[in-house]
Amino acid sequence: MALITDYLVQGCQMLLVLLLAPLLTGWVRRLKAQLLRRRGPSLLQPYRDLFKLLHKEVVLADSASWLFRVAPYLIFAALWVAASLVPTFASGLRFSWTADLIAIVALLGSARFFLALAGLDVGTSFGGIGASREMMIASLAEPAMLMIVFTLSLLAGTTELSAVAQFMQTAEVGLRVSLGLALIALVMVAIAENARIPVDNPATHLELTMVHEAMVLEYSGRHLAMIELGAFLKLLLYLSLLGCIFAPWGMATAGAGLVAYLGGLAVYLVKLAVGGLLLALFESVVAKMRVFRVDQFLGAALMLGLLGTLLLFVSRSH
Amino acid sequence: MHLKLLLGLTAALFVTGLYAVAASRRPGCSRTVYGTALAVCCLALLVALGHLAGATAATLTLPLGLPWLGAHFRLDALAAFFLVVVNLGGAVASLFALGYGQHEHAPERVLPFFPAFLAGMNLVLLADDAYAFLFSWEFMSLTSWALVMAHHHEPANVRAGYLYLVMACFGTLALLLAFGLLAGPNGGYDFATIRAGTVTPGFAALALVLALLGAGSKAGLVPLHVWLPLAHPAAPSHVSALMSGVMTKVAVYGFIRIVFDLLGEPVWWWGGVVLALGGITAVLGVLYALMQHDLKRLLAYHTVENIGIIFIGLGLALAFQANHLNAAAALALTAALFHVLNHSLFKSLLFLGTGAVLTATGERDMERLGGLIHPMPWTALAFLIGAAAISALPPLNGFVSEWLTFQAILVSPELPQWLLKFLVPAVGAALALSAALAATCFVKAFGITFLGRPRTPAAAEARETDRYSLAALFTLAALCLLAGILPGLVVDGLAPVISLLNDGTRLMAQNSQPWFTLVPVAEVKSTYNGLLVLLFMAFSGTVAAGLIHRLASDAVRRGAAWDCGYPDPSPATQYTAGSFAQPIRRVFGSVVFQARERVTMPPPGDLRPARLEVELCDPVWDYGYAPIVAAVTAVSTRFNYLQFLTIRRYLSLVFGALVFLLLVLALWR
Amino acid sequence: MHGLAFDIAHLLAGGMVVVSFLMLYQDRVYALLNVFAVHALVLALAVGWQAYIQGAHHLYVTAGIALVFKAIIIPTALHRMVQRLDIHRTLEVVGGVGLDMLAGTALVALAILVMLPVTAAADALAREDLAFALAVVLLGLLLMVTRHNAISLVVGFMSLENGLVLAAAGARGMPLAVEISVAFSVLIALIVIGVFLFRIRERFDSVDMQALDAFREERRQ
């Protein structure tokens, strides 16, 4: 019986992240609009956009191959699995031991690999622009993310995300410098990976300033809906990650009962709302960087992550 | 028993080589030779697996070679594991060559040496004394050199062969000196005597350096890697697969045998040196690979990167062993040996795929290919699986060995030495950087070659390869997937090797874990389950696709590409390999390779095309080898006058040498 | 481990290292001056916190001096100087920002490598604070060495002095007299440098180091 409940809770988490992801993006867009003194679209607009796209016909270029048609589903699957593994309202769920932080980072890498290939598939120059810039950003963002993972794992003694989240809730963490460095680096990496200002503008219409949008320029219909949903899931993943590691209070542990789960869910929704607000504020205040300043930005994140790891290595003195 | 079988199979390979010398001009000889090689390698693979599954070491002495030494052979767990790797690679390459070898226009230069090459590699792994080892090592080098020179009409191949020969001789010399130091003044050259004896710490350090030079030059450690990107592409494709995927592993075996088995108790700074070299090799290798647009050279440079990753694992293991942290050493060794297996699998797959492309189009240069996924869908699928595996994407096998290496790095704060405490995080960052750059490299390699639109008529008129080649490609692809979703099996298979090298400590048994999970160290609670990740992804993808096709729309229409409303019919407007790598070239290349771009634009009205020139300089060659070559040339030019002396001068030289030797003899007493 | 108080002190010291890195990252003069003001602000907070937990009241004066002079007056003065001298607004970095930050990380590692084994007898957090202070000094020197612009020389010199003050505050150290004399000598140095910059600007119409180098005498053969 307990086994069935566990599976049910895990299933609920998977559905929850899928349902909440467009709402989070809708919240961020509305806040950005209101900061610019506009009314802004409704919070449910992303759901309507997805519904519209899903029911439209797909137009494929003549030079598109089977990879172009399969890639959106692969990307969506990788991102959904990764997002389901990050603790949201409860940690230590049934399948949390299948993939640890390093595997989550690698799953995000798989999604990006197939997205870049899809960009190159049709054989246009804009797809190439997007793919090459995205891989340049990834070549610095992924090592920075791995350094952050190392810092967190050295503190918690394990790479498994649920165990790290539970460790952060205990008192023995304290205010460590390495944690501060990891927080700054993780925010920088999250901005770069989610294609937000100042790295990339998600609302741009100028192809020469695009990174993420340029790779999906040829997609339409249900394929585009899958990729958009994947991007929403990625934003939710990073905000959940920041929340469960650096603001872990209120998360339930597995098997704690329905009341604890509901309380954890309420706290999680508040964390998402606050995170969305901070993101919208930051994006409205800062200007977009030119492309070859992004590598210095991510290089700084990598150096901060490396410093955090270095400090933890040397403070284990014998 | 196993040992005798393996020696017999090696002899069978020699006989096949001899047969090919005689009969290479006959039609059907190619099929016979490769078929026999396939059968022999499969048998050897099964025997080696059988030994690995649970047998004790066996030795054998044959009255060959030096009369007072004989030829010692030994089959233990380490040799058995590497025999599995070598024979698996050999079998798949032979299977591929059953189809590919039909296109060879100089079979008499390839057929005799191919089975001999396989035999040489097997003998290196079985050798148990210095003479047999070095003899087989040289035999392996010479046969592969002959294969590199198979297409000797191209001057690039001749240069590659010459450089290969020089570096191979240098490597053998270093190994000879290393064995000399280990054997000591009594000259006990067989490995059993060396194991039982002790070496002074100074000599042990010197032997380590010589082993690094000797085995490292064959494996491709920076700065001894310069021959690899020239020689590996010059050989026929199935031989390139063997050289990159398998011969480099034999070099790694040589290093492990000397350092872990024969040298005895390691010192902590040995681990530091190997670790640092591995880290530099990994990053430089992948940066070089990103600058290439020849498919085979890109893959060869990428081999250099993976060798760096293997040596990072070995360096960590040495450092842990020196500090008596045997459990952590078991983890690091498992990571390194798992990567040995993985790399031989996916690098062979990628080289064989490149061979298929070369046969179909006649081109190796990515900038003249493109759109091959349409005429060659199966080759493209296999190449994609290889590219995904080498970029360490779950649930394939590349990710598992990378995960294990990262876990080994995360246990290293236990190391007490200060220099190691600073070196390991830096090497960890270098490893993460090289893994991310590898993914970029393979998006470029697969994307520019197979995706997009064909850039030349040769690419447009390609055809799918024959079924033998496809069988070989898909065998390797299936093995990549299996090793990724059932890593516990591989780790358990490696356990006897690890306990041999690690004084009996090994990782805990993985076959008792639920759902085939990989749990290397129980206390650390880090786990990974490739099978469940694959199942989750397959479930999510198919459910999503199914629901959408049923409930939403599944209509498709073909049309012109959107391209922002200005679709250009010329395929020259799509991205090339050079343009894809431009951001990386600008960020990393401007520092490491002093990459400079120069654009010459003719004035308006002039009909000449604009030119974009990219200049790269190779720092290892310019600062390492060019001075040496210049010095050697200068010295030999000075001595050249000795060629043109008169008869009287020559006689006086001989007379002077005789007087000098007599003087030495007189004073010595 | 240690209580929250020591953790906050440690965090503020680490914060100074992060802000020094941020100074290395800037490529515009006004942004550099703003980050320098933040650097001085964090220094003031760190010294003030040390005053609170050590109960050393003279450190409050030091914190006040840091706040008023270095976070407000000096950045404003430098701002005006940049406007009057019409100095080039973008900073060119020798070797590129990436290599610069890599060198910065190596310097922090060097500072830790030097400080931690040497002070083995002391308390763990105090050792790391000293290592951070040395790192701030080294990063200030790096800033001075790798830029062509005169303003970055001044800012680097100031941040170097901030590092010295941090070290002194953490080590329960410098009496107030020494602190005041060090601060005054820095101020004098700043005034002298400023005067010289104006004179150089009048003579040569530029304060760019590379351009000025062209006016030097030929090297003796």
pLDDT band at A49 (very low <50, low <70, confident <90, very high): very high
For residues B247-268, average pLDDT: 91
| pLDDT tens digits, one per residue of A194-244 | 989 888 888 888 877 888 888 999 999 999 999 999 999 999 999 999 999
User: Among B190-194, B318-322, C41-45, where is mean pLDDT lowest?
Assistant: B190-194
User: Beta-strand (E) ranges in B516-601?
Assistant: 556-559, 596-600
Quick one: pLDDT at residue A317? 46
For residues A46-54, average pLDDT: 94
Q: Do C105 and A314 touch (CB under 8 A)?
A: no
pLDDT band at C173 (very low <50, low <70, confident <90, very high): low
Q: Report d(CA A73, CA B543) in Å as an integer.
A: 10
SS3 of B575, please? coil
CA-CA-CA-CA torsion sign (B92, B95, B97, B100) = negative
More confident residue, B478 or C86: B478
Average pLDDT in chain B: 90
Beta bridge partners of B597: B614
For residues B440-466, average pLDDT: 92
Contact partners, residue B247, CB within 8 Å, separation at least 6: B121, B140, B144, B218
Beta bridge partners of B59: B74
Q: Among residues C96, A298, A133, which one has the least CA distance to residue B583?
A: A133
Residue of C113, C114, C115, C119 to mutate for B, most B C-beta atoms under 10 A: C113
Nearest-neighbour CA in chain B from C132: distance (Å): 16
Residue of A63, A147, A295 to mutate for B, most B C-beta atoms under 10 A: A63
For residues B340-360, average pLDDT: 95
For residues B74-89, average pLDDT: 94
Q: Do B590 and C99 touch (CB under 8 A)?
A: no
Q: Do B587 and C99 touch (CB under 8 A)?
A: no
Does residue A55 carry a pLDDT above 60? yes
Quick one: pLDDT at residue B143? 94
Quick one: pLDDT at residue C170? 73
Closest CB from B418, B422, B591 relative to C99: B591
Question: Token match 């007189």: residue?
Answer: B666
Residue of B287, B419, B422 to mutate for C, most C C-beta atoms under 10 A: B422
User: Among A4-13, A268-277, C190-199, where is mean pLDDT lowest?
Assistant: C190-199
User: Among B36-50, B111-125, B212-226, B642-656, where is mean pLDDT lowest?
Assistant: B642-656
For residues B113-142, average pLDDT: 93
| Sequential DSSP letters for B82-96 | HHHHHHHHHHHHHHH
Q: Do B541 and A76 touch (CB under 8 A)?
A: yes
Chain A residue at shortest CA distance from B530: A98
Instruction: Quote the ipTM score.
Output: 0.94
- State the CB neighbour count (10 A cutoff) for residue A277: 14
Q: How far is CA A89 from CA A83, A239, A252, C112, in A?
A: 13, 13, 6, 40
Quick one: pLDDT at residue B430? 95
* Chain C residues 64-103 with a CB less than 8 Å from chain B: 96, 98-99
Q: Report d(CA B628, CA B624) in Å as an integer.
A: 7
Quick one: pLDDT at residue C148? 76
Quick one: pLDDT at residue B507? 75
Question: Cα torsion for C169, C173, C174, C175, to the nearest 10°?
Answer: 120
Taking contacts as CB-CB distances below 8 angstroms, the residues of chain A near B445 are none
H helix or E strand, kind and range, residue B432: helix B418-450
Does residue C96 carry a pLDDT above 60? yes
pLDDT band at B271 (very low <50, low <70, confident <90, very high): very high
Residue of B367, B527, B582 to mutate for A, most A C-beta atoms under 10 A: B527
More confident residue, B307 or A312: B307
Neighbours of C (≥3 Cβ pairs closer than 8 A)? A, B
More confident residue, C7 or B299: B299
Quick one: pLDDT at residue A318? 34
Q: Do B590 and C117 touch (CB under 8 A)?
A: no
Q: Among residues B171, B326, B154, B350, which one has the least CA distance to residue B234?
A: B154
Nearest-neighbour CA in chain A from B316: distance (Å): 15
Does residue B638 carry a pLDDT above 70? yes
pLDDT band at C105 (very low <50, low <70, confident <90, very high): very high
Neighbours of B (≥3 Cβ pairs closer than 8 A)? A, C
- Based on the structure, what is the number of domains in chain A? 1
For residues A28-47, average pLDDT: 94
Quick one: pLDDT at residue C200? 76
SS3 of C12, please? helix
Does residue C11 carry a pLDDT above 60? yes
| pLDDT tens digits, one per residue of B454-473 | 999 988 888 888 899 999 99
| pLDDT tens digits, one per residue of C28-54 | 889 999 999 999 999 999 988 888 887
pLDDT band at C171 (very low <50, low <70, confident <90, very high): low
Closest CB from A61, A150, A302 relative to B560: A61
Q: Which domain holds residue C117?
A: 3-219
pLDDT band at B261 (very low <50, low <70, confident <90, very high): confident
User: Among A13-17, B325-329, C125-129, where is mean pLDDT lowest?
Assistant: C125-129
Does residue B236 carry a pLDDT above 60? yes
CA-CA-CA-CA torsion sign (B73, B78, B80, B85) = negative
Percent helix, strand and coil across chain B, each rounded to 5? 75, 5, 20
Q: Structure tokens of C143?
A: 């800033």
User: Among A255-259, A302-306, C17-21, where is mean pLDDT lowest?
Assistant: A255-259
Quick one: pLDDT at residue B372? 93
Q: Structure tokens of C67?
A: 């706040």
Q: Report d(CA B201, CA A251) in Å as an integer.
A: 56
Do residues B492 and B510 lie in contact, with contact meaning Cβ atoms separated by under 8 Å? yes
Beta bridge partners of B62: B71
For residues A174-190, average pLDDT: 89
A286 touches chain B (CB under 8 A): no
pLDDT band at B83 (very low <50, low <70, confident <90, very high): very high
For residues B154-167, average pLDDT: 92
Q: Do C96 and B591 touch (CB under 8 A)?
A: yes
Nearest-neighbour CA in chain C from A316: distance (Å): 10
Q: Do A160 and B582 touch (CB under 8 A)?
A: no
Q: Do C105 and A176 touch (CB under 8 A)?
A: no
Quick one: pLDDT at residue B631? 95
Q: For chain B, give every domain's residue range.
A: 1-184+220-264, 268-539+576-588, 594-638, 643-669
User: Among B34-48, B381-395, B648-662, C106-120, where is mean pLDDT lowest?
Assistant: C106-120
Q: Do C98 and B422 touch (CB under 8 A)?
A: no
Q: Report d(CA B634, CA B245) in Å as an integer.
A: 38
Nearest-neighbour CA in chain C from A307: distance (Å): 7
Does residue A60 carry a pLDDT above 50? yes
Quick one: pLDDT at residue C121? 66
Quick one: pLDDT at residue C217? 65
For residues A242-247, average pLDDT: 91
| pLDDT tens digits, one per residue of B391-417 | 999 889 999 999 999 999 998 888 888
- Based on the structure, what is the number of domains in chain C? 1
Q: Phi, psi at residue B556, to the nearest 5°? A: -135, 140
Question: Cα torsion for C79, C82, C88, C93, to the nearest 10°?
Answer: -60
| pLDDT tens digits, one per residue of B99-111 | 888 888 888 888 9
Quick one: pLDDT at residue C1? 44
Packing angle of the helix pair B113-126, B130-148 (nearest 10 deg) = 160
| Sequential DSSP letters for B455-515 | SSHHHHT-----HHHHHHHHHHHHHHHHHHH-HHHHHHHHHHHHHHHTTT--PPPSTTSGG
Beta bridge partners of B613: B598
Does residue B482 carry a pLDDT above 70? yes
For residues A167-180, average pLDDT: 80
Do residues C77 and C155 lie in contact, with contact meaning Cβ atoms separated by under 8 Å? no
For residues B30-55, average pLDDT: 90
In this structure, the strands spanning A90-91 and A58-61 are: unpaired
Does residue A93 carry a pLDDT above 90? no
Chain B residue at shortest CA distance from A109: B393
| pLDDT tens digits, one per residue of A117-146 | 999 998 888 899 999 999 999 999 999 999
Chain A residues with CB under 8 Å of a chain C CB are 172, 174-177, 180-181, 184, 295-296, 299-300, 303-304, 306-307, 310-311, 314-315, 317
For residues C111-122, average pLDDT: 76
